[in-house]
Amino acid sequence: MPHLDAAYNLARWLARDEHDAQDIVQEAFLRAFKFFDGFHGENSRSWLLSIVRNATFTWLQKNRKSEILTVFDEETHRLDEESADTRDSIQQADHLLVRQAMENLPAEFREVMILRELEGLSYKEIAEIIGTPVGTVMSRLARGRKQLLGALAASLKQEGTL
């Protein structure tokens, strides 16, 4: 099945549980199969990941409603100039710390980070999947990277490695 790994990866990071992700992907593939006649686009990967995203948020709404609600605070989410070392710092951090920090990101930041950094999708593809303008994708990526870097720095400082 094409794009199964990407579908599972997205569902796993959004749901934060591998067993739930398996159920979500199964449901998403059933939905995709059911509505395949309606697919007339060129990018099957984006189309399928849109279905996986929607299935995940439907599942979260039903089973863990508190996880999809995020309070937006301008001060907390304020964008400072992004450091050129952001990507290097993230790549050098311990895998477990990165995973924990990613899982603690709000869902709207976590999903764009997964789609961009792990799945390698373009801003345009991500915008199509999540149904927002490209500028929103870029903003969420910048904020997500900043929060991720802050969480990693705090973890490393707490461990005494920074």
For residue 76, pLDDT beyond 50? no
- CATH code that applies to domain 86-159: 1.10.10.10
What are the helix and strand counts (H, E) for the chain?
8, 0
Please check the confidence at residue 55 and state whether its pLDDT lies above 80. Answer: yes
Sheet strands (E) in the chain = none
Give the mean model confidence (pLDDT) for residues 52-58: 91
Query: Looking at residue 77, what is its pLDDT?
Result: 45
Domain boundaries, the chain: 4-67, 86-159
Q: Concatenated DSSP letters for 121-136?
A: --HHHHHHHHTS-HHH
What confidence category does residue 13 fall into, taking pLDDT thresholds of 50, 70 and 90?
confident
pLDDT category of residue 48 using cuts at 50, 70 and 90: confident
Q: Which pLDDT score, from 0 to 100, does residue 67 have?
A: 60
Task: Examine the pLDDT at 129 and tell me if it is beyond 60.
Answer: yes
Q: Is the pLDDT of residue 72 over 50?
A: no
As a CATH number, domain 4-67 is 1.10.1740
CB-based contacts of 113: which residues, under 8 Å, 6+ apart? 102, 105, 141, 144, 145, 148
**How far is C-alpha 90 from the geometric centre of its chain's CA atoms?**
16
CA atoms in the 13 A half-sphere facing the CB of 46: 18
- Mean pLDDT computed over every residue of the chain: 81
pLDDT digits (tens, 9 = 90+) for 19-32: 999 999 999 999 88
Beta carbons of 86 and 94 less than 8 angstroms apart? no
pLDDT confidence of residue 100: 85
Measure Cα distances from 158 to 70, 83, 90, 99 in Å: 26, 21, 17, 17
Mean pLDDT of 110-134: 92
Overall average pLDDT of the 139-153 stretch: 92
pTM, 2 dp: 0.61
